[in-house]
Chains A and B, each alone.
Chain A
Amino acid sequence: MATVQLNQLPVPTFSWLGVNGTERELYNGPADEIAVSGAEKPVTRIHIAKSANISVSGSKKPQLIVMNADAEQAVIRTDVHAESSEQIRLVQIIRGGKNVLELHAELAENASLELIQIYLNPADCVSGAEIHMNGRKSAFTSNIGYALADGNALDLNLNIVQRGKKTVSDTTVRGVLRGQAKKIFRGSIDFQNGAAGASGTEQENVLLLDETVINKTVPVILCAEEDVVGSHGATIGKIDPAHIFYMQSRGIPEAQIYEILAQSQLGSIVRQIGDAETEQAVSRLLGRESADE
């Protein structure tokens, strides 16, 4: 195994915070080569149990790719090329395991990529995504959800490079941390010179359920263009006591309230999947894992 630097921030900050990147020994076992094209069928489901190199290309019709990864240890690389006006929805469900995910996407004019990532109790997952919005009016939407229990670790890095004019990006991240879970989310919107008329938003909402969790949030905006609108926000904390009070007044026991609110935290992400079979499966998993806690 080789040690590599992963998830580097596009612009480093104070070294003592330990957020500039991470280091992992990269598993170098055999990898499957998988090519997915929207020309073949509108919905593609892939089960990933070991390392894989996946290339995704679009077609004239919108397409949905659902990746369900439950490998114990794997490196999963995904390359997405959306040509002019192509629409791709990529769903990645990552369950357990010590995995490294790398996503690289290139979007041409009017192309759109919708990314949905759901991380369910990853033992140690490092996931990096680099989205290059090169084409005019290309669009990128991401909905990322995570549920981490005691001993889980998740290191996320999303770098959105908006190069084309009038590009639009919108990122929503919602998660729940319990026990001694550790999570870092780096989300960067990089408005490059020439991206006139571009806009980008990013919002993370983190629910902390135990005093032993570690949460790091790094929302970055880089801007070299005057005519853009960018914003990011983050809210991190416990459940609002008003919500607990309201639900208690309706006769729901306190322990159950936490589970309901934790599931609802990711529920809005799950509903974005757009594939009933997958949505039901993920909802079942969420409920089971909450019940196991």
Chain B
Amino acid sequence: MKQKTQVADIDRSLYDFRFEEDAADFLSSGITPEIIREISEEKGDPAWMLEFRLKSLEIFSRMKMPVWGPPVDGLDMRNIVTYIRSKSRMNTDWNDVPEHIKETFERLGIPQAERESLAGVGAQYDSELVYHNVRKEVAESGVVYTDLESAMHDPQYAEIIRTHFMKLVPPTDHKFAALHGAVWSGGSFVYVPAGVRLDIPLQSYFRLNAKGAGQFEHTLIILEENSDLHFIEGCSAPKYYEAGLHAGCVELYVGKGAKLRYSTIENWSKNMYNLNTKRAVVEEGGRIEWVSGSFGSHVSYLYPMSILNGRGASAEFTGITFAGEGQNLDTGAKIVHNAPETASHIDTKSISKSGGISTFRSAVTVHENAVGSRSSVSCESLMLDGRSRSDTLPVMDIRTDKCDIGHEAKIGRISDDAVFYLMSRGMDEQAARAMIVSGFAGNVSKELPLEYAVEMNNLIRLEMTGTVG
């Protein structure tokens, strides 16, 4: 009798450790004007920010839940704690970070990565940054890498924050953007001056330790003309039975001729609702590159958007989504061509197994003024069993004739011919199938820095037994 090949769920044991909360400030669950005022007071917001938060709350209250996408009925906002401050304040010396937090990040490999391959690191634990550091030579080049609250209170950057904060993703964008505007806390601010090119990446790592909580960090990155940055974002949380919520926001401003690569390995636990919003605006000749690996969460809505506003601006999105048991991951990308001769490319892979649901959703819009623009979209889906589901929903909205737009999508299972070919070269069937699945994910792993490619390959740990039925 044939035995079905088994592909294991992602091994999450690395991420599923946790410490009891020792928070100094643990606000009540739910979202009310009183809670918003408490958060604002705790953080010492300027008056405009308190006003912004309260307006966002109003918008949140009147906006409806999305009528498309995975169900979010398991998320009861009345039970979500929106703000938790650790006893530890922000540190720039790793030795000053409390032991249990230090241990958390050490087990996730963050300090080691900083020593070996990063220009700077930020670490957020629940609602607040607990550590932020940048190499001396990087700071001396004029690069600013700090937590958003510090930047907001620094006279040198306060006006930049005020004029850029939630301008790309306004609270009216959708219900969870409004929620973010009301309760945001933590996150990073990066400023790269004109002409500065960082050879090694900066990284922020977000860890949500508390149960029944939300994390709402805000990342704001500004690249001036002809600058270059690789920014890496990592996220994880231990598993609880209570629903958790991540509604972060990322706003990226890429100046003329600048290049930004934004890499994310998202590995939230399977009780999390990941309702994150990411958006970049790219000026003339600039380039945004998104590299995205979505492995965790119970439900995910994630579609980084690139607005190509300057002539010759370009965007590339490379992503992989792995949906296992109990997961409904709705991911993709949005591109807006809003200037002549802009170019975009979307290349995604998705794998569904053990009843997991993976949906690729994209939107490419080419405006009247985007003459001479080019776009190509490629999405491939692999179904590993008949209990799972994989959908693709791309949309192309084209409003000029002077453009070239292409789209292709494929869905299927592991090809028997490919397995046969590899076996004819001396491989056993298990190794052949493992190689095919690894190769399927290869387009993303080769775009990641080596240590993250290794992490991703560890995440997709394949156990192959027997032959296929």
Which residues of A line the B interface, CB within 8 A? Answer: 9, 11-15, 17, 19-20, 177, 191, 193, 196, 206, 208-238
Contact = CB atoms under 8 A, between A and B. Distances in A.
B397 interface: yes
A238 B410 CA distance: 25
Contacts of A232: 392, 407-409
B408 A193 contact: no
B395 A235 contact: no
A225 B412 contact: no
A218 B393 CA distance: 7
Contact of B368 (A17, A211, A228, A233): A211
B393 A215 contact: no
B384 A226 contact: yes
Contacts of B404: 235-238
Contacts, number: 145
A177 B401 CA distance: 9
Contacts of B194: none
Q: A206, A216, A221, A231 — which one has the most chain B CB atoms within 10 A of its CB?
A: A221
B192 interface: no
A132 B389 CA distance: 20
A252 to B, nearest CB: 20
Contacts of A221: 381, 391-392, 409, 411
A133 to B, nearest CB: 17
A224 B403 CA distance: 35
Nearest to B382: A226
Contacts of A11: 68, 391, 393
A259 B417 CA distance: 45
Interface in B370-390: 371, 381, 383-386, 388-390
B400 to A, nearest CB: 5
Interface of B: 66-68, 334, 361, 363, 365, 368, 371, 381, 383-386, 388-413
Nearest to A224: B389
Contact of B409 (A19, A213, A224, A231): A231
Contact of A13 (B68, B408, B412, B413): B68
B401 A238 contact: yes
Nearest to B398: A215
Contacts of A220: 391-394
A223 B393 contact: no
Contacts of A230: 409-412
Given A13-B395, A19-B395, A227-B386, A217 B407 contact: yes
A20 B68 contact: yes
B394 A219 contact: yes
Nearest to A204: B407
A229 B412 contact: yes
Given A14-B363, A209-B401, A238-B403, A227 B413 contact: yes
Contacts of A193: 386
A216 B403 contact: no
Nearest to B303: A14
A164 to B, nearest CB: 15
B407 A219 contact: yes
A15 B381 CA distance: 24
A219 B68 CA distance: 17
A233 B401 contact: no
A40 to B, nearest CB: 41
B412 A228 contact: yes
Would you list the 9 A-B pairs with minimal beta carbon distance, nearest first? A208-B401, A12-B68, A236-B405, A237-B404, A234-B407, A230-B411, A226-B386, A226-B383, A233-B408
B399 to A, nearest CB: 5
A82 to B, nearest CB: 26
A223 B399 CA distance: 30
A20 B411 CA distance: 23
Contact of B402 (A14, A20, A223, A238): A238
A14 B406 CA distance: 20
A211 B371 contact: yes
Given A218-B394, A221-B392, A14 B68 contact: yes
Contacts of B405: 234-237
A237 B68 contact: no
B391 A226 contact: no
Contact of A223 (B66, B391, B406): B391
A211 B402 contact: yes
20 contacts: A13-B363, A14-B361, A20-B68, A191-B411, A209-B401, A214-B398, A215-B397, A216-B397, A217-B398, A220-B392, A220-B393, A222-B391, A223-B383, A229-B410, A229-B412, A230-B412, A232-B392, A234-B405, A235-B405, A238-B401
Nearest to B334: A14
A229 B407 CA distance: 17
B7 to A, nearest CB: 12
Nearest to B403: A237
A248 B338 CA distance: 33
A234 to B, nearest CB: 4
Given A13-B393, A211-B401, 12 more contacts: A11-B68, A20-B68, A215-B399, A217-B396, A220-B392, A221-B392, A223-B391, A227-B413, A233-B406, A233-B409, A235-B404, A236-B398
Contact of A217 (B388, B395, B399, B400): B395
Nearest to B415: A229
Contact of A213 (B68, B394, B399): B399
Contact of B395 (A213, A216, A231): A216
Given A223-B389, A229-B411, A13 B402 contact: no
B407 A14 contact: no
A12 to B, nearest CB: 4
Contacts of B388: 224, 226
Given A15-B68, A217-B395, A233 B361 contact: no
A230 B68 CA distance: 23
Q: B394, B398, B399 — which one has the most chain A CB atoms within 10 A of its CB?
A: B398
Contacts of B396: 215-218, 234, 236
Contacts of A210: 401
B391 A219 contact: no
B68 A231 contact: no
A210 B401 CA distance: 5
Nearest to B411: A230
Contacts of B407: 217, 219, 232-235
